[in-house]
Structure 1
Amino acid sequence: MILKTTAKNWFTNYLCPTIDLLLGFVVSTENQIKGNIKHFEENKKGIVIDQGYPELEQYVTEYNGLTSDGWDLHSVFGEYYPSLHRRSAFLTLVGIFEHELDKLCEHCKEQFNLNDSLSDLSSRGLERSTEYLKQHVDIATHKNTRLWCDIKKIQILRNSFAHQDGKTFNDNGDIPQIIQHVKENSFLSIDDRSEVIINEGYLEYIRDTYFRYFELLNNSLQDKLKNA
């Protein structure tokens, strides 16, 4: 029999198994990236570009239609493409966590027989769900913690990837939260186009950061349930 998910068992019976599944997703993503890099190293080939004259012949490396006379192939296939792959996984992870926190708010509405719904609030994303938990469920949302600060930086970086190609600036100038986040996080770097590069380890960092923050929320929720 499948146990119904409630505010009381949401963390242990639902979120923790989901976190385990997301670890598998992260590992699978990184393994695919490593496989792609290995395929590049093993299948790149040297070719001759014939300019019509023997003295103008060029010896270049070619892979997947790109040649080393026009591209830094090691940078493209060893850094840029892997970062693009991780971008997609990054957006997926953050979207899942936002969805799961919305679901917690729905469970709380049912658990405590609340009249107001999450959709009644005008904000969006984690700001909306945490505000609902604070205002209507009346639990601490731990916004004075380092975890929340880190999540806010993750959210800002997510928005940059979604809307401006991961740039560290917008029309108003540099985005200090992104620049600071890169400086603080060894799994991020910035390339010569001022785009953030996601390196191996960052996806696991996201998973762990959200999990630990949700753990704090659950502790607050369980305290309220004990006193209800």
Structure 2
Amino acid sequence: MAKLDFIFSVHMCAMSQSISIMRMLAEQAEKNVALAIKEANESGSVKAHEFEEEACDQYGESYVRIRTCYSCGSSVAYDPEEALAMHQFLITQLTRRSAYLTIFGLFEHRVSQCLEFMIELTGHDGEVKGKGPVEKAQYMLLNVVGGNEIKDLDHLTVLRNIMIHSDGVAEGYEEMSTRKTKKTHAEKRVLSAIRRATGVSVNMFDGVIMGQTFLTYAVDEFERYVREMEEAVQNYHKNRAIPNV
């Protein structure tokens, strides 16, 4: 039993260190966003470009005219304010998305190690349901370890999938959120995830927007889950160690 205690402590120590790294990544991402927006607002960040364009006059005669477009970073528009706004939006969302996927990947890696430990500790040899380490860990906690009070992280998993598989677009969100007819399981998961998460919204194009508070919220949720998982495993371990009277 002492050996298992040591192994579990090692996993929990690694997980705690990972939470600190996640929090650092979240804070650094917001600093990068603030710096990028500041630089974009500086004079000269929006550049004007002239180009030739063929047009027709009122008599149907074609002629070449000079038009002006504006660029800021990789964003291009006919209006300078629009180019600036597009750039700020892109840099903000891509920075937060990149940070979130890194944070989630780190959490998933650590959870997979804890999952292996839980399977070894409990001697569970049946099916562990779920599509990934996070879902499988939740299954083990609820159905084998006895952590019935632990709230899942399904909303963060769904948001991760939207970011990595759908380029940040919750396909059909507007339609499914207002539809009165029965919704599929997948649709219910998407709706629940966006409603449950703090700092997330959806625009008119079904794009999922990560706000300034989202990354911190996500790390807080991961930290909460780790704390509850540790408590559940410790309780299971202690109860198993108590000899039958």
Structure 2 length as normaliser, TM-score?
0.71
Aligned to 1:157: 159
- 1:4-62: CA deviation from partner (whole Å, max 9, x where unpaired): 96224533x2222221111111112222222222221114245363659xxx7666543
Distance 1:170 1:98 in 2: 28
Equivalent residue runs for 1:185-200 within 5 Å = 185-200=197-212
What does residue 222 of structure 1 align with?
234
Q: Which moved more, 1:188-197 or 1:123-132?
A: 123-132
* Structure 1 spans left out of the alignment, 5+ residues: none
User: Which runs of 5 or more residues in structure 2 are unaligned?
Assistant: 54-64, 177-186
2:136 equivalent in structure 1: 128
Given that residues 155 and 194 in structure 2 are in contact (C-alpha distance below 8 angstroms), is that contact kept between their aligned partners in structure 1? Answer: no
Contact 2:75–2:86, Cα closer than 8 Å, also in 1: no
Q: Distance in 1 between matches of 2:218 and 2:67?
A: 45
Q: Aligned pairs, how many?
A: 211
- What is the aligned partner in structure 1 of residue 109 from structure 2? 99
Is 1:116 aligned to residue 117 of structure 2? no
Are 1:62 and 2:64 matched, yes or no?
no
Bigger Rg, structure 1 or 2: 2
Aligned partner of 1:212 in structure 2 is 224
Greater RCO, 1 or 2 (C-alpha within 8 Å, sep 6+): 1
Contact between 2:115 and 2:136, CA under 8 Å: does it hold in 1? no
Shift of 1:226: 2.2
**Which amino acid in 2 is paired with 1:164?**
S
Question: Of 119, 138, 142, which aligns to 2:149?
Answer: 142
One-letter amino acid of the structure 1 residue matched with residue 136 of structure 2: R
Aligned AA for 1:225?
A: H
Using the TM superposition, give the Cα deviation of residue 154 of structure 1 relative to its aligned residue in structure 2, in angstroms: 1.7
Give 2:98's aligned residue. Answer: 88
Distance 1:198 1:218, change over 3 A: same
* RMSD of aligned Cα (Å): 3.1
- The question of whether the paired residues in 1 share the 8 Å contact of 2:100 and 2:215 is answered with yes
Residues in 2 aligned to 1:189 and 1:222: alpha-carbon distance in whole angstroms: 37
1:44 maps to 45
Residues in 1 aligned to 2:214 and 2:113: alpha-carbon distance in whole angstroms: 25
Q: CA-to-partner distance for each residue in 1:102-129, whole Å, 9 max, x for gaps?
A: 101223345x373639xx6353222222
CA–CA distance in 2 between the matches of 1:188 and 1:24? 20
Aligned equivalents of 2:221, 2:197: Cα separation in 1: 12
Aligned-partner SS, 2:157: helix
Deviations 1:145-204 (A, max 9, x none): 4xx2xx212211221222222222359x63344345444545112223111111212111
Q: Percent identity?
A: 19
**SS of corresponding position for 1:193:** coil
Match of 1:167 in 2: 169
Q: Which residue of 2 aligns with 1:74?
A: 84
**In the alignment, residue 117 of structure 2 is paired with which amino acid?**
H
- Give the TM-score of the pair, scaled to structure 1: 0.75
How far apart, in 2, do the equivalents of 1:184 and 1:73 lie?
A: 33
Name the CA distance, whole Å, in 2 between partners of 1:20 and 1:193: 35
Cα 1:226/1:200, change in 2 over 3 Å: same
Could you tell me which amino acid in structure 2 is paired with residue 130 of structure 1? Q
Counterpart residue identity of residue 220, structure 2:
D
| Correspondence for 1:22 | 22
1:168 alignment partner, SS class: coil
